[in-house]
Structures are given as C-alpha cells and as structure tokens.
Amino acid sequence: MTGDDPYGAVVTWLRRPGGPGPLAGVRVGVKDLIAVAGAPRLCGAPGIADPSPQPRDAACVARLVAAGAALVATTATHQFAYGIVTPQTRNPRAPDRIAGGSSGGSAAALAAGLVDGALGTDTGGSVRIPAACCGVVGLKPTYGRIPVDGVQPLAPSLDTVGPLARDVATTARLFAVLLDAPVVPRLPSPLRVGVPAQLTDSRVDEDVRSVWHAVLDDLAAAGAVVATVDLPTLPRAPTANGRILAAEALAVHGDAYTADPAGFAADVGARLAAAHDLDPAAVDAARVTAARLGDELRAAFARVDVLVVPTLPCRVPPVGVDPIVVDGVEEAVVRAMTRGTNAWNLTGVPAGSVPAGHDGGGAPVGVQVVGAPDAEATVLGVMGLVERLRGGPQPPIADAGQSAGTPSTTAK
C-alpha cells in the first residue's frame, strides 16, 4: 500500500483525464476484472491472469470515458470475483471489519474518497455486499442491460456490471451512461413497498433488523403503503444461485485450476474443487427454482412497486472471523452474507443497496431496494428517498487521500 491508498483498494493507478460530457469531473475506479486499455487485468490473481496490458477498454468503460469520466484506478477484487471478502482490502469506515466483496476495492476507494464513482461486477451480491459494508451505494442492474464485453466472466448467466458511488444521484448518472439511455429516478405516488413474508422470522442480527424496520417506518411515515408479499421459493434461492454459480465458474476456470491448483487462493480453489462433485441434476433443479421465483416476483410486482429488505442479514463481519454468529446461530461468512442478495441474481431483477444506519459498533448497515425487470428508475427513486429519510449520503473518510498523488504503479 502507498500513502495515497492506505486501504489496499487500488491495484493500478491510471492517468486517463476526463473530458466534457455528463460525467465531466467524475473520478472513476474500475474493478480489476474489467478491461482498461493499457492496464493489466489481473482479476485478483497475479501469477494466473495474463499480466499484459489490455488492448482496449471494456464496453462499459468505453461508455464512461465517452461521457467525460476520468479513470484514476483499477480496484481490488476477491480472486476472480469468487468470494465476498476481498482480503487484501481494508474497510475505511470500520478497519476491524471486512470491506466485503468481490468488488471490495471499488467500495473502499469510494469510502476513502479516492474516487467519485466506480464499476463493480455482481454475480451473487458482489456490488451490493461491499457497498453495504463500506457505507456507499451500489446498484445491480437487470441482467443483460449493461454490456459485459471485456469483463472476465465468472458465471455468465448471472454476471452483471454495476455502478457504485457515495450517493444515489451519482449512481444514477453512472447507470444512465452505462445503459446509454436517459434515466430519471422515479418515485411512484403512492409508493407501494413490499416486504417478503419469508423474511419476517428469518435470522437477522438485531442491529440490522432495527435499521431495516426503521427504514420501513420512515417510508410509511412519508406516505408509502407497506404490505407483505408472499415469495414461497425465496428461502431456496441462495442454494440455487450458488449451484448455478459453481457449475458455471468451474466451466470458466476449471482447466486453469486443474493445471495450477496452488496458484488459486485457498477459498476459491476449494469452491472450484467442490464444484467437480456437483450433480448436474441439482443444477437443473436450481434453474427450475429460478423460474418459480421469477413467477412469484412477477405476481408480487403487480401489487407493489419495490421490495425493501436488508442487504446483509448480519453485521459487517470482523476481519479473519469465519464462521460468524448471526442472530445467535453460527454460520459460514459466505453463506450469511449472500443470503440477502443471491435471489435477485438468480431472477435477474435490479437491486440496489443504500446506507441506512449503523450497528452498535459503528459499522454501516445497508438496506436493499429490489424492483421489477428494467425498473431501475423506480429502484433508484426509492433508494434516493431512503437516502434522504436516513440523513443523506455518508461523506468520505476525512483522513483518506483525496487524489492519486504519486502512485507506485501507473498505467497511462
């Protein structure tokens, strides 16, 4: 780490000045899974990934550049995006807690004030989880709306590129550029908010439950109609998403793992090794689960505009602790932290995390707004309302560097 980045958020400093356009003056970090011309794309896996400079920008990066954004850094990822910790990165808002992953570097760089916006990827929660951990905003768009050309795949039927920022307004600006279409955040009147019945008695840390219920109360006080919706298949979604992800990740990385298992991080290697034993019938059943949950969501969104749920069921875990205790029960970190996010990858619907409070130790707590397919404008509108009702966006950490300074690794 350099003096400019005490959090291990940056992989390579970039010097790509911005220009005129809707993102003029916005400094952007790009997850080190996404191609940036002239910079290596190491995917959190130096020694495995090709270290050669990328010949061209990924399509999503090219859109940001064309809109005037300045590229200042590539940002750290959990190896090949197959994890939710980003162990090389510290959380600027809670240094004893994890930054989350796999887009942990993007979220940490935002919290530290090193960038104004960032790109991440989300296959099971990898934009929203670090956003919640680091007290920033993250949006997973509807599957397929943002091009993934130039992005290292993990599970192609689930992978999504998404923007992060410190506030909802900047997130919406980034999303509009990525979509290459106007996006005006929309707030229905009256707003109809759904709460899945299956989450009412689910295991959630009391600090998280308190913040979530406070958000629902604030929305009701602001005129929203809050109603329970029934999603019977929801409890099976995390397992189903995990099985599809594992099967597709093995197809992408299996040969490289077989050739050099020692080159993979222990947790990533263990997941790939376990995927070898996955029954194809279980993967087929997972896809049936996805279709059923999709049908249930369509029925729910005929009654409500959005769902509002916790991003994480747990407090942000301490560094190096696994398993953790969630509402009195021991649970593996990866299982706990993806319980609230996997379902929306499985069904491809848009979902965004917005800071909503803090736990008893001062670490951020986020809530998630989930919408119907292609309804990002409504998701962003409700996220903006939550942001206003809960005191506004969190500023960057005061002692973090505010510019790239003199980087130790630079790509032009």
Rounded to whole angstroms, how far apart are CA atoms 329 and 96? 21
Which of 103, 106, 126, 353 is flagged as catalytic? 126
Query: How many other CB atoms are there within 10 angstroms of residue 181's CB atom?
Result: 9
How far is residue 138's CA from residue 128's CA, in Å, rounded to a whole number? 5
In terms of phi and psi (left: phi > 0; alpha: psi -120 to 50; beta: otherwise), the region of 320 is left
Handedness of CA 22, 25, 28, 34 (dihedral sign): positive
Short-list 284, 282, 280, 252, CA closest to 268: 252
31 catalytic per annotation: yes
Annotation says 210 is catalytic: no
Give the whole-angstrom CA distance, residue 306 versus residue 378.
8
Rounded to whole angstroms, the Cα distance separating 107 from 131 reads 6
Active-site residue (options: 31, 103, 106, 353): 31
Angstrom distance (rounded) from CA 13 to CA 350: 31
Q: Is the dihedral of CA 332, 307, 30, 153 positive or negative?
A: positive
What does R_g of the chain's alpha carbons equal in angstroms? 19
* Diameter over CA atoms, the chain: 58
Q: Are 130 and 335 in contact (CB under 8 A)?
A: no
Q: From CA 231, how far away is CA 378, in angstroms rounded? A: 21
Give the integer Cα–Cα distance in Å for 106 and 108: 6
**Helix 266-275 crosses helix 237-259 at what angle (to 10 degrees)?**
100
118, 108, 104: which is closest to 71 by C-alpha? 118
To the query of whether residue 140 is one of the catalytic residues in this protein, the response is: no
C-beta of residue 257 within 8 angstroms of C-beta of residue 264: yes
Residues with catalytic roles: 31, 102, 126
